[in-house]
Amino acid sequence: MEARNLIRFLFLTVIVALLLLFTFTNLPYTLPLTNKAEELLDCSTNSRWCTSKNRFFQSNIKQPPKPTTPLHTADVPHHPLDPLTLNELNKVRSILLSHTLFLNSNTYALHSVVLEEPDKSVVLAWNHGEPLPPRKASVIARVNGQAHVFSVELSSGEVNLVDVGEHSGYPTMTIEDMTSSTWAPLGNADFNRSILARGVDLKDLACLPISLGWFGEKEENRRLIKVQCYSMEGTANFYMRPIEGLTVVLDMDTKQVVEIIDKGKNIPIPKAAGTDYRFSAQNSKINLVNPISIEQPKGPSFTIEDDHLVKWANWEFHLKPDPRAGVVISRVKVIDPITREMRNVMYKGFTSELFVPYMDPTDAWYFKTYMDAGEYGFGLQAMPLDPLNDCPRNAYYMDGVFAAGDGTPYVRSNMVCVFESYAGDIGWRHSESPITGLEIREVRPKVTLVVRMAASVANYDYIVDWEFQTDGLIRVKVGLSGILMVKGTSYVNMNQVNQEENLYGTLLSENVIGVIHDHYITFYLDMDIDGPPNSFIKVNIKREETALGESPRRSYLKAVRNTAKTEKDAQVKLKLYDPSEYHIVNPSKRTRVGNPVGYKLVPGGTAASLLDLDDPPQKRGAFTNNQIWVTPYNKSEEWAGGLFTYQSQGEDTLAIWSERDRSIENKDIVMWYTLGFHHVPCQEDFPIMPTVSSSFDLKPVNFYESNPILNIPPNNENDLPVCSASAESSA
């Protein structure tokens, strides 16, 4: 009977796993709305209730763009940087499967299939309407257990092997790797007995695939993963119900259990009560604010041409989803307010890596030092955005079209949204004091354009915004939300804890500890200020002492400019009491009065890693040793944690590349910036975290001759709809 029940549980678990795989890789699906559409006044459909100075907006109101679910079978590329289309992905798969290496293989998996971007010089020379450069795919595949990088020419079908050198690590996991690893332990009788001994029914089991970093030779020469499990009984938030101390080491290729560590048998599974975060599960519901929506009676001000070219106000840029980076912003240009010419600002920007080390050295936790982009695929973990809640009503949605492990294309629907944002912020203002006798009050509103994606990397959710302002500023913001990764404990109150005992975190609820951890998000920023030859200048703010009798003042500040000659000159650890500005300038282009044109990085989210530099996780995450790096442009150097990050030893990182100390003065250069967060969990983070955000700015510095938004108009009452609730909705 026990064997029959076990078979039944195994069969059920496989079915659940297949359904999860379907969810991860299937076509678009919808999510429940929290902001109910019927509660938001839509001036496009309720136009009789939207007036401006008693005039009705009706026929002139344009419908805002709605989320769509296109099949993408008719997509064609229009730009050299357009991602591979669904048809192109199918063609790549067909070409590879007919290749000798694949024909003679027993096993293969495609870990990455993306556009092989043309050389930068080719893209810069290309003009709209011209024929596209030859379309190529860059493919990372494992064939018979060996990793290869291929260049596939789509028109000719030619396949070339790319030499990327020796690497200790493995490619990014496929969705199939992750999904199959979660149910593979169920084929092991010892594991099943361990679960049942903890009082958990196999049907209530939820398991997570956890990358194990690298901690020595015993983990080399095979792809390993660790699996830890939770109880789903009584809650959708199984993350709050860990089966503490039970860890399975799994061979990811054979799906065989290598080792079972079970050291937490005396730790109870936390209760389910109070853990469910779903709106439908709340016993009491509170409406703190009335529904809010921004209406645009003339429609949005932005356009998206040929699926990927975004034009808004004075900005133009190329936008595409990416399975590893999430979103890639390219060919960023802005219109000069005087000459009206398009000026280059940035060639390419994206999230290069996310390093998340947990601060618990015990057996079940020491290895939790994630590289979310290189190990899991930041874009692969992007979920469909929820209209009205993730993005406002006026948003445009963009799908990602990616390749599964067997090369079959699938659609990640509504992965990216683009929308205009107005939060009552001010672009510029001045009111004259009455003592001058001048009655002046000039104010301009600040409206911005936001490109947003959200990735749910298991328990954690990341929201990444690229925000463009009309004054030329680009703000990159990261929001952290989702659910903490917690540790089970026997404690239910802090009065039980010995003062000398280290919990490695905070007791959040009965039997639940939120473990201290860090988040580091490293961005790749290929700045091209009026063209590729740029320089990095550190403008150090120094205190200067006045000479005796020179002034009533004893000290003042001055700016000391130092141009970085080589990479090591540009490595920056931020210091509060040794402040600097960080400029990227074009030394060959100057303003009317002689200043080099440029942009400056305005840091934010400045938490720095405190780990020992020789700690294995920090060796792999050595790109966080500095907050700022500058390297010469190299097409092969894009991923701060290395091309093959999984189980890597840290020999192919930004820190290693930069040790070459190459020349960067008046060169085509790339700036790297790391946003950092220290997270000491608190009870307000239970059972789901309110979003915490930080950002950095790329701000014009002598790029313009004067304020670029001096001549924009203020808001006028006649231009804005005044909406009131309908009689039906207020009844």
Is 661 part of the annotated catalytic residue set?
Answer: no
DSSP code per residue over 277-326: --GGG-SS----S-------TT--SEEEETTTEEEETTEEEEEEEETTTE
Question: Angle of helix 2-25 relative to helix 189-197, nearest 10 degrees?
Answer: 100
Tokens 């699926």, located at residue: 307
Alpha-carbon distance of 97 to 381, in angstroms, equals 27
Residues 6+ apart with CB under 8 A from 195: 202, 205, 229, 243, 246
DSSP code per residue over 695-717: EEEEEEESSSSS-TTTTPPPP-G
Q: What is the CB neighbour count within 10 angstroms for residue 509?
A: 18
Q: What's the burial of 183, exposed, middle or buried (CB within 10 Å: 0-12/13-18/19+)?
A: buried
- The three-state (H, E, C) secondary structure of 19-45, written as one string: HHHHHHHCCCCCCCCCCCHHHCCCCCC
Residues 6+ apart with CB under 8 A from 454: 382, 383, 385, 390, 461, 462, 463, 464
Is residue 247 within a helix (H) or strand (E), and if so which, with residue range? strand 246-251
Do the strands 146-153 and 555-563 form a parallel or antiparallel pair, or are they unpaired? unpaired
- Name the H helices within 381-427: none
Alpha-carbon distance of 209 to 223, in angstroms, equals 13
> Across the strands, what pairs with 562?
538
Which one, of 454, 469, 446, lies nearest residue 390 by Cα?
Answer: 454
Is 719 part of the annotated catalytic residue set?
Answer: no
Do the strands 517-527 and 474-482 form a parallel or antiparallel pair, or are they unpaired? unpaired
Alpha-carbon distance of 94 to 326, in angstroms, equals 26
Backbone angles phi, psi at 566, to 5 degrees: -130, 175
Alpha-carbon distance of 631 to 670, in angstroms, equals 5
Query: Which residue among the candidates 177, 307, 322, 372 is catalytic per the annotation?
Result: 372
Contact 421, 446 (CB under 8 A): no
Cα dihedral: 167, 169, 174, 176 (round 10): 130
Query: Which residue among the candidates 170, 397, 410, 460 is catalytic per the annotation?
Result: 460
Q: What is the CB neighbour count within 10 angstroms for residue 29?
A: 12
- Catalytic center residues: 372, 460
